[in-house]
Structure 1
Amino acid sequence: MTETADDLSTPLGQDKPRRKRRLRLPFTAMQLLAVLLGLFLVTFAGFAIFNKDPLGGEPMTRIAIREPKATEEKPAASGHGSEIKPDSKHETKEAPKQAAPGEQKTVTMIDGLTGARHDVVIGAGEASDKGEAASAPPVMAGIDPKLLEKSRYGMIPAVAGDLKSFNVYAADADRAKAAKMPVVAIVIGGLGVGAAKTTDAIMKLPPAVTLAFTPYGADPGKLAERARAQRHEIFLQIPMEPYDFPDNDPGPQTLLTSLSPDQNMDRLYWHLSRMQGYAGLANFMGARFIATEPAMQPIIREAAKRGLGFFDDGSSPRSIAPQATASASMPFGKGDIAIDAVPTPTEIDRALNKLESTARERGVAVGTASALPVSIDRVSAWTKTLGDRGILLVPLTTAMLKSKSS
């Protein structure tokens, strides 16, 4: 009825306006979005499966090394056979020369999570491809060869009759005087990585301050030798697993609770071979490892068997080191106060005053610090007047022996 009326009312000669038809797609917007998302997932999965980059896009350098021919006398001027393909963030450099037998190379190891860099020397101390022991680096000056034993990584401590590293490499001290008055020991840790800060600690601090070296750095053995030449007592810090590992990574060859005792022992030997002349071991980080008895006990027994002492920096309240060292009849010491937990002059001075009070109360107190410039300056100034206040500064080994006898 309505259409008839519209037709009658339409003027002659004019067509009736037609209704516009809406364009309808054969699918909805949600269906289109689902298809696009599916295509993206399929593409991503295909890239992940068939991509040959195992590092997932991490910057990578490729080095082509050519075996030198016997008839060659000079390297090719154009550098053929020695090529580096850098990424967009790296400059092109010549390929490093292959290390000759017994020669050492420095390799920078980068923690992929934190970006921290560690220079590690390899070559002379590493085992050969055939599983034979590599030639050991030269023995440091002042080291008793009877107290060394050859391992697959190099020379490590050993016991020779009644001779033990803890006694032979302990710094000189007036132990008779130390038995009669309060004593304080200071341990500066984290040395060996960074020659400048290590040298500052060696030269600016009095000989009675004990220096603890990590096994990393370009040549920690030379710096340790220099420290001993300045009459400092040295300890070797062993990287151990913290609770937040691997977000917080001590470095290569870290002792881990997830490894077997044999695997951790092999890593321990690598650390022990990095330098010589240390009186004992200390934990480097390691709150989880030092609190895990099945992992820690074999390490303590091995260190005791090799005539070493053990120093617990006191950072882990759950440490089983006191019980483990007691059962192994091993010299033991523990840090009482972290001097530079807050690295400002005022807070460091406050911590040193607290260390004095602890020494007067207990007879022995041990403070720990890192090699920060402010820490070295404040400790150096504090030690100059310590004797006037009736307290004796002693090496760590002397404090450990006094704690055992008291």
Structure 2
Amino acid sequence: MNQAPPAAVASTLPAPLDTLRFPLHGSHLIEASAGTGKTFTIAALYVRLVLGHGGADAYGRALTPGEILVVTFTDAATQELRDRIRSRLAVAADAFRVDPGSIGSASPGQDPWHGLRAEYPPEQWPVCARKLQLAAEAMDEAAVSTIHSWCNRMLREHAFDSDSLFTQELETDQRELLSEVVRDYWRSFMVALDADAVAEVRQWWSGPAALQVSIGGLLEHAGLLPAALRAPAEALREALADRQQRLAEIKAPWSAWVDELQTLLDTARDKKQLNGSKLKKNNYDAWLQCLARWRDDRGSVNPGLTEAATRRLTPDGMAEAWNGAAAPRHPALDAIAALAGQLAALPDARQELLCHAARWVAARFAAEQARCAQIGFNDLLTRLDAALQGANGGRLADIIRRQFPAALIDEFQDTDPL
């Protein structure tokens, strides 16, 4: 277990952690692997905070369990950590109750609290024991929780400063409410689309449930999405028109190219210039028929060429199948090599519709939550963060700092990115 070094010396090896000398003021990161005593370290730092231990490295005064915030990742871990801290406080209290005259018989290695106790004169040991015992007895009311539970507590306790409702109910499962909002969106914007637009949308989402999956990762960040978005019907209409124009431009040369390729390949076959095992007539005839149908069908986007066709009907593919002299060049061969990229780049409205749906659903979902006086787990962090950034943010931050002068965050790497 190591204490991460300051940025100025980040290139050096991390310093081994000394729990008795670890600073209890400022912000610090402890790096630890599984099984290296993370819980013991948290409990040891907790004991020091309760005692006000550390001299220049101390917080400044002794703290009570209600003033020390401990955050971990799960509810189960919360209860385990609370019990472990309670146990350490009780054991440390017992360590300060020993007879000073009996200490010489025990080595420091046999007594994990030897170093801590040695920093207090024996006449102060009863006071230290009393502080630790009272803290152990107060652990049921200690501020040990998950990050979501703590945010919920702050929003409730500081409702005025966080602009939260006193009567808000924490709803742990809001999936049905979200699904209903997405269905409302689908009814409002998708049901009345014309046939072409419906066909386009159905390529992406079979219905509201599929759309909900696609926008799931966007909802928490909906405020960062573009605001000036067109309605889906307009966005689809313009995207379809733009795509049709671009597709017509791509297809236009093929009015001549299909026949030219047919003549080129038939002539080469008659002259034995083609390797018949690598490019057979029945194969290239079928490929050219696909291209002809695609060219003549205004709405067809993909010619449906096989992988073999897209590999062989290119300059490199033709060179492999050509006997003797260099294979002839033709713009159609270059066009087929570039066709997949051109078709993938055709304009469509999918991204714009996703942004529109995410913003609309997020706003309606928030309105429904407010109407029902509900709040979900995903809202707890964002609402407290918004409150801290809002008009009363400075005052709220000061209140929370006074309420919790010290915070120990377990499993920091697993906490929410916010």
Q: TM-score band (shorter)?
A: under 0.3
TM-score, scaled to structure 2? 0.20
TM-score, scaled to structure 1? 0.20
Q: Which has the larger Rg?
A: 2
Larger relative strand fraction? 1
Select the structure with the greater relative contact order (CA < 8 A; seq sep ≥ 6): 2
Larger relative helix fraction? 2
